[in-house]
Structure 1
Amino acid sequence: MKREYGLDQVVYDAGSLVTVGTFDGVHLGHQAILRYLLRRAAENGGRSVVVSFDPHPREVVRNEPVPLLTTIDERADLFERLGVDRFIVIPFTKDFARLSAEDFVEQVLVARIGLKEIVIGYDHGFGRGRGGDAALLERLGRQHGFTVDVIPPQVVAEHVVSSTEIRQLLVEAGDVREAARLLGRPYALSGTVVEGAGRGRTIGFPTANLAVSHPRKVIPRPGVYAVSVAPGEAAHVYGGMMNIGRRPTFENEGLHLEVHLLDFRGDLYGRSLRIEFVERLRDERKFASVEALVEQLYEDRKRCMAALKAVP
């Protein structure tokens, strides 16, 4: 897949079949749009093109931080895995936000990229004030010779799949299993192992303390989780038990992410870890003693191993 960051890197291609959006999460609803795009590109002998923005438009337009299910690089990797030909990232600035929907279509999609066909979701809005919609695209398509396809909402278990719902599942409930069902894969985050207090080693559960790679990345609700862990570029994946929380038995300060790898021996300091969440085991809580905590950790490990064993 060709990755083009900024319009100055874009090479005009009159056979471009395009979809536009933030696609945060690349969930099942997004995947339906992308698979339709890929099918249409194959039928027409054209190139499938995903156009997205960085940072998230809401951060610029409303000046508010937006928690991300996927970073731009994670989205790019997922698009490539699906078979997309080109991924174009447009830096979203205040000047770009002032561009009208009509100008965006004519100046960027048609004149710069080479729009032949556009695939959009049923509720897609774009351009200044989200003034662009399917009706506008149909009108501009007649003028500039491109076609428009609108994909209906994608429903899983009577729910319309949305990034907002998945964020809520993770942050409010820690329901990583339901989030995975809507994403079509386990929710994942990456980070670098940093030095911690070393307390886990003294109680028989050494942990790797994780500094998450992206400041906007969604962190699931505090608690204990069964996870899969891939260190760096290593092919081997380890089972793990992750705690997200404030370590109330010891200090109750700040939010920490730490993971205990099952059956691992070695030094992880400075290495990158990719964490995939499998199941939430319990809430974090304060224990009356270190001994009570250790007893619970042994029980957690049993449940963790059972949860990981159940994964296909």
Structure 2
Amino acid sequence: MEIIHSIFDFTPSQKTMVTIGTFDGVHIGHQKIIEKLVSEAKASNKKSVLLTFFPHPRMVLQKDVSIKLINTIDERAQHLEKLGLDYLIIHPFSREFSRLTALDFVRDILVNQLNISKLIIGYDHHFGKNREGNIEQLTEYSHLYDFTVEEIPAQDIDEVSVSSTKIRKALANGHLKTANNYLGYNFSLTGKVVNGKQLGGKIGFPTANIDIPEDYKLIPKTGVYIVKSIIDNTTIYGMMNIGNRPTVDGEHQTIEVHYFNFNQNLYGKELTIELLYYLRDEQKFDSVSGLISQLKKDEQNAMLFLKSYAKL
């Protein structure tokens, strides 16, 4: 997959099949659209193109600094690459770009720039200035400019429509299993190991403190999670606390991972942490010894979970 950082840097010599959207999470509904796109493009000897935008349109148009995304833009690209696309175009979203009318977008971007032969879109797709474009307009313009349009119906799990919004809510509420089922993979956090107060080491549970630079990355519900990472090509399991460490100091939110049977120095390393299971809420204990006792129970519960997880 080739990544291109502007629509205007893309000059295809072949006809293309295109899908458009934010694709936050690259969840199973998104995957269905993309797999169809890739399969049809290969069968008809055309190039598959996914057009997405960054920053998220709401960050630009609504100055919505509170919006949190399931994936960073790099994580999104990594998930998309696994799906066999020929091209990923990450176009900078701006107010100027948002003023393109639906007609301008179809004619100037899809037809003249992307050389489109078919557009495959998800259910209830809108585009263009003030989101004025819809499936009816797309169908009308497709006849005018000689390309076809296909709308994929809502993807359901157990009769519940999958959406990025529902996944975000599941993560915020600690419903990790639901979120991972909807995603089709384990939600993850990626960040650099930074110096902490080394309090974990003093109580027998040394931790790697994770700093995530992207302020728009969604951090799930505070609490204790069972996690895994690949470190130096080896899968390492552990437990992670997201929270304010109320028993020790109650400071700003931290993300700390304790890896089982592992004592390597990780300072300065970038780690990706997959979240496997939500173990419990964060708690404030009456004493440090109460905290240590609970951490030992957490480790035992994690080991029980991992025994059955390893059999999957």
Task: For 1:280-295, list aligned pairs within 5 A.
Answer: 280-295=278-293
**How far 1:155 sits from its partner (Å)?**
0.2
Q: Which amino acid aligns with 2:288?
A: V
Matched letter for residue 281 of structure 1: L
Q: Give secondary structure in 1 for the equivalent of 2:229.
A: strand
Number of equivalenced pairs: 309
Give the Cα–Cα distance (whole angstroms) in 2 for the partners of residues 13 and 22 of structure 1. Answer: 26
2:186 maps to a residue whose letter is: P
2: CA distance, partners of 1:257 / 1:163: 23
> Corresponding residue for 1:180?
180
The answer to which of 151-160 and 212-221 deviates more is 212-221
CA distance in 1, matches of 2:142, 2:75: 32
- Answer yes or no: is 1:296 the counterpart of 2:297: no
Q: Does 1:210 align with 2:210?
A: yes
- Show the counterpart of 1:85: 86
RMSD (Å), alpha carbons: 1.0
Q: Equivalences for 1:178-257 in 2 at 5 Å?
A: 178-231=178-231, 234-257=232-255
Using the alignment, how far apart are the partners of 2:214 and 2:303 within structure 1? 29
User: Which ranges of 4 or more aligned residues in structure 1 deviate by more than 6 Å?
Assistant: none
Secondary structure at 2:8 match in 1:
helix
Aligned to 1:33, the other structure's residue is in SS state helix
Cα distance in 1 for partners of 2:265, 2:253 equals 23
CA distance in 2, matches of 1:35, 1:62: 32
Partners of 1:107 and 1:8 lie apart in 2 by 10
Q: Which residue pairs with 2:102 in the alignment? A: 101
Q: Contact (CA 8 Å) 1:208, 1:260: kept in 2 or not? A: yes
* C-alpha displacement of 1:108: 1.0
Tell me by how many angstroms 1:116 deviates: 0.8
- Please name the residue that 1:145 is paired with: 146
What's the CA shift for 1:139? 1.1
Using the TM superposition, give the Cα deviation of residue 13 of structure 1 relative to its aligned residue in structure 2, in angstroms.
Answer: 3.7
Question: Does the 8 Å CA contact 1:14/1:115 hold for their aligned counterparts?
Answer: no
Contact map agreement 2:14 2:47 (CA 8 A) in 1: no
Name the CA distance, whole Å, in 2 between partners of 1:35 and 1:286.
46
For residues 43 and 79 of structure 1, what CA distance do their matches in structure 2 show?
20
> Take 1:223 and 1:309, find their aligned partners in 2: how far apart are those partners?
22
Which is further off, 2-11 or 54-63? 2-11
State TM-score, norm by structure 1: 0.97
Measured after TM superposition, the shift of residue 8 of structure 1 is 3.5
TM-score, normalising length: structure 2? 0.97
Report the secondary structure of 1:64's partner residue: coil
- Residue 59 of structure 1 aligns to a residue whose secondary structure is helix
- What's 1:161 paired with? 162
Please tell me whether residue 127 in structure 1 is matched to residue 128 in structure 2.
yes
- Greater Cα offset, 177-186 or 71-80: 71-80
Q: Which residue of 2 aligns with 1:62?
A: 62
Distance 1:13 1:179 in 2: 40
Q: What amino acid sits opposite 1:56 in the alignment? A: H
Distance 2:8 2:268 in 1: 35
Q: Which residue of 2 aligns with 1:36?
A: 36
Give 3-state SS (helix, strand or coil) of 2:263's partner.
coil
Greater shift, 126-135 or 196-205, is seen at 126-135
**Structure 1, 270-279 or 4-13: larger mean CA deviation:** 4-13
Q: Answer yes or no: is the 8 Å Cα contact 1:18–1:117 preserved in 2.
A: yes
Structure 1 gaps of 5+ residues are none
- Runs of 5+ unmatched residues, structure 2: none
**Contact (CA 8 Å) 1:180, 1:186: kept in 2 or not?**
yes
